[in-house]
Amino acid sequence: MTDETDRDVPSPYPYICDLDEDGVLTIKIPYTEEWGYYSLFIARYALSNLKKYRKTGDEEYEEVFLTQVDFLCDDLVEKDGFAVWENDYSLPWYDFDEKPWVLGLGQGIGMRALIEAHEHTGESHYLKKAKKVLHSFDAEIEDGGVKYVDEEGYTWFEEYAIDPPPHVLNGFITILQSIDEFYDYTEEKKAEQLWEEGIKTIKDNLDRYDNGYWSLYDLHTFYPSTVKYHKMHVRQLKELYEDTGEKIFLNYAEKWEDYKDKRLNRVRKSLKRGFIHLRTKGVIGGLKRYHKLRKYRKKGN
């Protein structure tokens, strides 16, 4: 690992991040001593440096941006008509050990980074790669993509493309917004189709994320969201309302904003999260997970 602290390397909780010898962002894989690459954080790091370059004109930021997007291009795994970034480690918070798996959120933000690289440089290969990533949203999980079609015919774009699919709300919306950005940039009909399918799914299933006093993080664990993600849901739904004019998004945004302002709801949310954790992990399992996380964080500092 390098020690280039002047580059403002992000370390979003619970991950620990650093730069490899080539300047590419890496993560310390949760609960292990191993290091790997995570498309989501690499893409976000790329985009943040591009933003700094545009603001300051400092070519070091541009170099960091291009280093990340070039790695993303090289790291893509080609499938039948699409491409993905694969992860070869466990997903402990969903007790998922099958490898490799695909992070749909990384697909979306990575696609954004490739579009920005195309716009910034004019190099056609960035757009070609971005189009292959777009088609991962039209490929089902069992085929290596990130799409899941439920028994009622609704199309879900999974933040964590695993089985069973957790239907993470904030990830789904972020993916949709990435698809919309791709459409705005290219006017490609496939992106428009995927956007419309996803909007219908969220609109018709939004009530499932409302437990009467808080928003749910996903439809697998049914954890009430943390305050951070609850606020994100409110913001995202307001954005969807602006993009679509669908009043249901504004109604839920205002309803969930009202939930947030009631102290009792926050208490109920915390108690419910604790109850679900105890029910699924047990006291011993919960303590083991807690100590693993503390050990992981401590060794990374």
pLDDT at site 12: 72
Collect the ranges in the chain with pLDDT lower than 70.
1-8, 11, 13-14, 283-301
Give residue 172's Cα distance to chain centre: 8
What is the percent of the chain where pLDDT is above 70?
90
Domain 1-205 has CATH 3.30.70.270: no
pLDDT at site 27: 92
pLDDT at site 285: 62
φ, ψ of residue 252 in degrees (nearest 5):
-70, -35
Nearest to 49 by CA among 118, 142, 113, 140: 113
Question: Which residues does residue 156 pair with via DSSP β-bridges, in sequence order?
Answer: 148
Cis amide prior to 164 (ω within 30 degrees): yes
User: At how many degrees (to 10) do helices 104-121 and 124-134 cross?
Assistant: 160
pLDDT at site 6: 43
> Which two tokens mark 135?
């088609």
CB atoms within 10 A of CB 59: 9
pLDDT tens string 136-146: 999 999 999 99
> Which two tokens mark 97?
């050990």
CA separation for the pair 215, 223 (Å, rounded) = 9
pTM over 0.75: yes
> Which two tokens mark 91?
């997903």
Residue-averaged pLDDT of the chain = 91
> Which two tokens mark 63?
């170099």
Question: Which residues does residue 101 pair with via DSSP β-bridges, in sequence order?
Answer: 87
pLDDT at site 94: 84
Beta-carbon contacts of residue 225 (< 8 Å; ≥ 6 apart): 169, 170, 214, 215, 216, 217, 232, 233, 269
pLDDT tens string 228-244: 999 999 999 999 999 99
pLDDT at site 8: 67
**Which residue type is seen at 259?**
Y
List the chain domain ranges.
Answer: 1-205, 210-301
